[in-house]
Amino acid sequence: MIQLTNIEKYYANKGVKNYVLRLVTTTINQGEFVSIMGPSGAGKSTLLNIIGMLEEPTYGTYNFLGEDVTSLNERKRIELYRNHIGFVFQAYHLIDEMTVYENIEAPLLYKKVGSSERASRIADLLDRFNIVAKKDLFPNQLSGGQQQLVGIARALAAQPSIILADEPTGNLQSAQAEEIMALFKKLNQEDGITIIQVTHSEKNAQYGNRILHIADGIVKEDVAVIA
Protein backbone atom coordinates (compact mmCIF):
# COMPACT_ATOMS: atom_id res chain seq x y z
CA MET A 1 0.00 0.00 0.00
CA ILE A 2 2.77 2.37 0.97
CA GLN A 3 6.19 2.06 -0.53
CA LEU A 4 8.94 4.44 0.51
CA THR A 5 12.19 4.26 -1.37
CA ASN A 6 15.30 6.16 -0.28
CA ILE A 7 13.30 8.95 1.25
CA GLU A 8 15.45 11.86 2.41
CA LYS A 9 14.44 15.10 4.04
CA TYR A 10 16.72 17.95 4.98
CA TYR A 11 16.44 21.60 5.79
CA ALA A 12 19.13 23.77 4.29
CA ASN A 13 20.36 26.36 6.72
CA LYS A 14 23.11 28.73 5.59
CA GLY A 15 24.25 26.19 3.05
CA VAL A 16 24.41 23.40 5.62
CA LYS A 17 22.01 20.54 5.09
CA ASN A 18 20.38 19.43 8.30
CA TYR A 19 19.11 15.96 7.64
CA VAL A 20 15.89 14.97 9.33
CA LEU A 21 15.41 11.73 7.40
CA ARG A 22 18.05 9.69 5.65
CA LEU A 23 17.50 7.00 3.06
CA VAL A 24 14.31 5.65 4.56
CA THR A 25 13.12 2.65 2.63
CA THR A 26 10.15 0.66 3.80
CA THR A 27 6.90 -0.92 2.73
CA ILE A 28 3.67 -0.86 4.66
CA ASN A 29 0.95 -3.23 3.56
CA GLN A 30 -2.77 -2.99 3.68
CA GLY A 31 -4.10 -4.00 7.08
CA GLU A 32 -0.94 -3.36 9.05
CA PHE A 33 -0.90 -1.43 12.35
CA VAL A 34 2.50 0.24 12.51
CA SER A 35 3.92 2.24 15.40
CA ILE A 36 6.78 4.65 14.80
CA MET A 37 8.95 5.17 17.85
CA GLY A 38 12.07 7.10 18.65
CA PRO A 39 13.51 9.94 20.67
CA SER A 40 12.23 13.47 20.35
CA GLY A 41 13.51 15.17 17.23
CA ALA A 42 14.25 11.88 15.52
CA GLY A 43 12.04 12.68 12.54
CA LYS A 44 8.95 10.65 13.41
CA SER A 45 6.46 13.39 12.70
CA THR A 46 8.30 14.31 9.54
CA LEU A 47 8.05 10.75 8.30
CA LEU A 48 4.37 10.59 9.14
CA ASN A 49 3.79 13.93 7.40
CA ILE A 50 5.52 12.66 4.32
CA ILE A 51 3.36 9.56 4.37
CA GLY A 52 0.36 11.85 4.78
CA MET A 53 1.60 14.02 1.90
CA LEU A 54 1.62 17.08 4.14
CA GLU A 55 5.31 17.44 3.39
CA GLU A 56 7.32 16.46 0.37
CA PRO A 57 10.54 14.52 0.69
CA THR A 58 13.65 16.23 -0.65
CA TYR A 59 14.73 13.05 -2.30
CA GLY A 60 13.32 9.56 -2.96
CA THR A 61 10.14 8.09 -4.26
CA TYR A 62 6.86 7.40 -2.61
CA ASN A 63 4.22 5.04 -3.95
CA PHE A 64 0.76 5.11 -2.50
CA LEU A 65 -1.71 2.46 -3.68
CA GLY A 66 0.61 1.70 -6.55
CA GLU A 67 0.76 5.29 -7.70
CA ASP A 68 3.78 7.55 -7.56
CA VAL A 69 2.74 10.38 -5.27
CA THR A 70 6.19 11.84 -4.55
CA SER A 71 5.07 15.22 -5.80
CA LEU A 72 1.42 15.29 -6.39
CA ASN A 73 -0.72 18.14 -7.59
CA GLU A 74 -3.07 19.64 -5.07
CA ARG A 75 -6.26 18.35 -6.63
CA LYS A 76 -5.09 14.75 -6.69
CA ARG A 77 -3.83 15.01 -3.15
CA ILE A 78 -7.16 16.36 -1.96
CA GLU A 79 -8.88 13.44 -3.66
CA LEU A 80 -6.69 11.07 -1.67
CA TYR A 81 -7.52 12.95 1.54
CA ARG A 82 -11.19 12.70 0.80
CA ASN A 83 -11.20 9.01 0.00
CA HIS A 84 -8.26 7.23 1.57
CA ILE A 85 -6.52 9.01 4.40
CA GLY A 86 -7.74 10.00 7.86
CA PHE A 87 -5.64 12.09 10.25
CA VAL A 88 -5.67 11.98 14.03
CA PHE A 89 -3.67 14.62 15.92
CA GLN A 90 -2.06 14.80 19.32
CA ALA A 91 -3.84 18.14 19.98
CA TYR A 92 -7.09 16.71 18.52
CA HIS A 93 -7.50 19.80 16.31
CA LEU A 94 -11.26 19.79 16.36
CA ILE A 95 -12.80 22.92 14.90
CA ASP A 96 -13.82 24.98 17.91
CA GLU A 97 -16.78 26.64 16.24
CA MET A 98 -18.38 23.35 15.27
CA THR A 99 -20.32 20.95 17.44
CA VAL A 100 -19.28 17.34 17.78
CA TYR A 101 -21.82 16.38 15.17
CA GLU A 102 -20.65 19.04 12.73
CA ASN A 103 -17.00 18.15 13.22
CA ILE A 104 -17.73 14.60 12.20
CA GLU A 105 -19.94 15.74 9.37
CA ALA A 106 -17.41 18.17 7.82
CA PRO A 107 -15.31 15.64 5.84
CA LEU A 108 -18.50 14.09 4.49
CA LEU A 109 -19.58 17.46 3.21
CA TYR A 110 -16.32 17.90 1.37
CA LYS A 111 -16.71 14.41 0.00
CA LYS A 112 -20.23 15.34 -1.13
CA VAL A 113 -21.92 12.42 0.61
CA GLY A 114 -25.71 12.63 0.37
CA SER A 115 -27.53 13.89 3.40
CA SER A 116 -29.31 10.68 4.47
CA GLU A 117 -26.15 8.67 4.04
CA ARG A 118 -24.35 11.32 6.06
CA ALA A 119 -26.84 11.18 8.86
CA SER A 120 -26.70 7.42 9.13
CA ARG A 121 -22.92 7.29 9.07
CA ILE A 122 -22.61 9.93 11.77
CA ALA A 123 -25.28 8.27 13.88
CA ASP A 124 -23.37 5.05 13.53
CA LEU A 125 -20.06 6.60 14.60
CA LEU A 126 -21.60 8.45 17.54
CA ASP A 127 -23.17 5.24 18.64
CA ARG A 128 -20.03 3.22 18.24
CA PHE A 129 -17.94 5.65 20.21
CA ASN A 130 -20.59 6.19 22.83
CA ILE A 131 -20.80 9.92 22.36
CA VAL A 132 -24.40 10.28 21.19
CA ALA A 133 -25.22 12.40 24.21
CA LYS A 134 -22.40 14.77 23.37
CA LYS A 135 -23.28 15.41 19.76
CA ASP A 136 -24.43 19.00 20.24
CA LEU A 137 -21.60 20.05 22.50
CA PHE A 138 -18.63 22.10 21.39
CA PRO A 139 -15.08 20.72 21.70
CA ASN A 140 -14.23 22.89 24.69
CA GLN A 141 -17.07 21.22 26.60
CA LEU A 142 -15.44 17.78 26.29
CA SER A 143 -12.62 16.05 28.13
CA GLY A 144 -9.41 15.36 26.26
CA GLY A 145 -10.26 11.70 25.80
CA GLN A 146 -13.69 12.57 24.48
CA GLN A 147 -12.18 15.09 22.11
CA GLN A 148 -9.82 12.51 20.77
CA LEU A 149 -12.71 10.08 20.28
CA VAL A 150 -14.41 12.74 18.20
CA GLY A 151 -11.13 13.28 16.35
CA ILE A 152 -11.01 9.61 15.48
CA ALA A 153 -14.68 9.51 14.58
CA ARG A 154 -14.05 12.41 12.24
CA ALA A 155 -11.09 10.60 10.68
CA LEU A 156 -13.24 7.54 10.16
CA ALA A 157 -16.29 9.32 8.80
CA ALA A 158 -14.99 9.40 5.25
CA GLN A 159 -14.24 5.65 5.51
CA PRO A 160 -10.50 5.94 4.83
CA SER A 161 -8.32 2.95 4.13
CA ILE A 162 -5.54 4.32 6.32
CA ILE A 163 -5.35 6.36 9.51
CA LEU A 164 -2.29 8.43 10.35
CA ALA A 165 -2.03 9.36 13.99
CA ASP A 166 0.77 11.53 15.45
CA GLU A 167 0.98 10.82 19.15
CA PRO A 168 -2.78 10.43 19.43
CA THR A 169 -2.58 9.78 23.18
CA GLY A 170 0.21 12.24 23.93
CA ASN A 171 -2.12 14.56 25.79
CA LEU A 172 -4.17 11.89 27.50
CA GLN A 173 -4.08 10.09 30.84
CA SER A 174 -3.28 6.42 30.64
CA ALA A 175 -6.82 5.14 31.13
CA GLN A 176 -8.07 7.25 28.27
CA ALA A 177 -5.01 6.32 26.23
CA GLU A 178 -5.76 2.65 26.64
CA GLU A 179 -9.31 3.17 25.47
CA ILE A 180 -8.06 4.88 22.32
CA MET A 181 -5.49 2.19 21.65
CA ALA A 182 -8.07 -0.53 22.07
CA LEU A 183 -10.24 1.29 19.64
CA PHE A 184 -7.40 1.46 17.10
CA LYS A 185 -6.76 -2.20 17.48
CA LYS A 186 -10.41 -3.01 16.93
CA LEU A 187 -10.57 -0.81 13.85
CA ASN A 188 -7.49 -2.50 12.50
CA GLN A 189 -8.64 -6.01 13.15
CA GLU A 190 -12.36 -5.78 12.49
CA ASP A 191 -12.50 -3.18 9.74
CA GLY A 192 -9.12 -3.87 8.19
CA ILE A 193 -8.09 -0.21 8.37
CA THR A 194 -4.38 0.35 8.04
CA ILE A 195 -3.05 2.40 10.96
CA ILE A 196 0.26 4.20 11.32
CA GLN A 197 0.82 5.93 14.62
CA VAL A 198 3.69 7.78 16.25
CA THR A 199 4.05 7.02 19.91
CA HIS A 200 6.50 7.31 22.77
CA SER A 201 4.98 4.56 24.78
CA GLU A 202 6.19 0.99 24.42
CA LYS A 203 2.86 -0.07 25.87
CA ASN A 204 0.89 1.68 23.16
CA ALA A 205 3.14 0.23 20.53
CA GLN A 206 2.19 -3.22 21.68
CA TYR A 207 -1.34 -2.71 20.38
CA GLY A 208 0.01 -2.74 16.83
CA ASN A 209 1.73 -5.46 14.90
CA ARG A 210 4.89 -3.73 13.79
CA ILE A 211 7.27 -1.13 15.22
CA LEU A 212 9.66 1.14 13.32
CA HIS A 213 12.39 2.54 15.55
CA ILE A 214 13.84 5.76 14.26
CA ALA A 215 16.85 7.66 15.51
CA ASP A 216 18.62 10.57 13.81
CA GLY A 217 16.46 10.14 10.75
CA ILE A 218 17.42 6.57 10.17
CA VAL A 219 15.25 3.48 10.58
CA LYS A 220 17.26 1.59 13.16
CA GLU A 221 14.92 -1.28 13.71
CA ASP A 222 11.84 -2.71 12.07
CA VAL A 223 10.30 -5.33 14.31
CA ALA A 224 7.10 -7.28 14.40
CA VAL A 225 5.06 -7.32 17.57
CA ILE A 226 4.43 -10.76 18.84
CA ALA A 227 0.97 -10.92 20.14
Ligand X SMILES: Nc1ncnc2c1ncn2[C@@H]1O[C@H](COP(=O)(O)OP(=O)(O)O)[C@@H](O)[C@H]1O
Q: Indicate the SS3 state at residue 102.
A: helix
Rounded to a whole number of angstroms, the minimum distance from the CB of residue 56 to other proteins is 10
11 scored as a contact of ligand X (CB under 6 A): yes
Minimum distance between the CB of residue 164 and ligand X, rounded to whole angstroms?
13
Residues 42-101 interacting with ligand X (rule: CB under 6 A): 42-46
Does 167 bind other proteins (CB under 8 A)? Our answer is no
SS3 83: helix
- Per-residue x/- mask for other proteins, residues 29 to 58, rule CB under 8 A? ----------------x---x--x-xx---
Task: Please state, in angstroms and rounded to a whole number, the distance separating the CA atoms of residues 151 and 121.
Answer: 15
> Which partner, other proteins, Mg ion, ligand X, none, binds residue 14 by CB below 5 to 8 Å per kind?
none
Task: Assess 223 for contact with other proteins (CB under 8 A).
Answer: no
**Least distance in angstroms from the C-beta of 126 to other proteins:** 17
x/- track of binding to other proteins for residues 54-83 (CB under 8 A)? xx------------------xx--xx-xxx
Cα dihedral 119→121→127→133 (10° resolution): -30
Strand stretches in the chain, DSSP E: 2-13, 16-28, 33-37, 59-64, 67-68, 85-89, 162-166, 194-198, 210-215, 218-224
Closest of 133, 71, 135 to residue 100, by C-alpha? 135
Binding residues (CB under 5 A) for Mg ion: these are: 45
* Smallest separation (angstroms) from ligand X to the CB of 39: 7
Q: How far is CA 170 from CA 78, 87, 123, in A?
A: 27, 15, 28
Among residues 115 and 189, whose Cβ is nearest to other proteins? 115
Who contacts 95 (Cβ-Cβ below 8 Å, separation ≥6)?
Answer: 102, 103, 106, 139
Q: By the criterion CB under 8 A, which residues form the site for other proteins?
A: 45, 49, 52, 54-55, 74-75, 78-79, 81-83, 85, 87, 89, 91, 93-98, 102, 105-107, 109-111, 154, 158
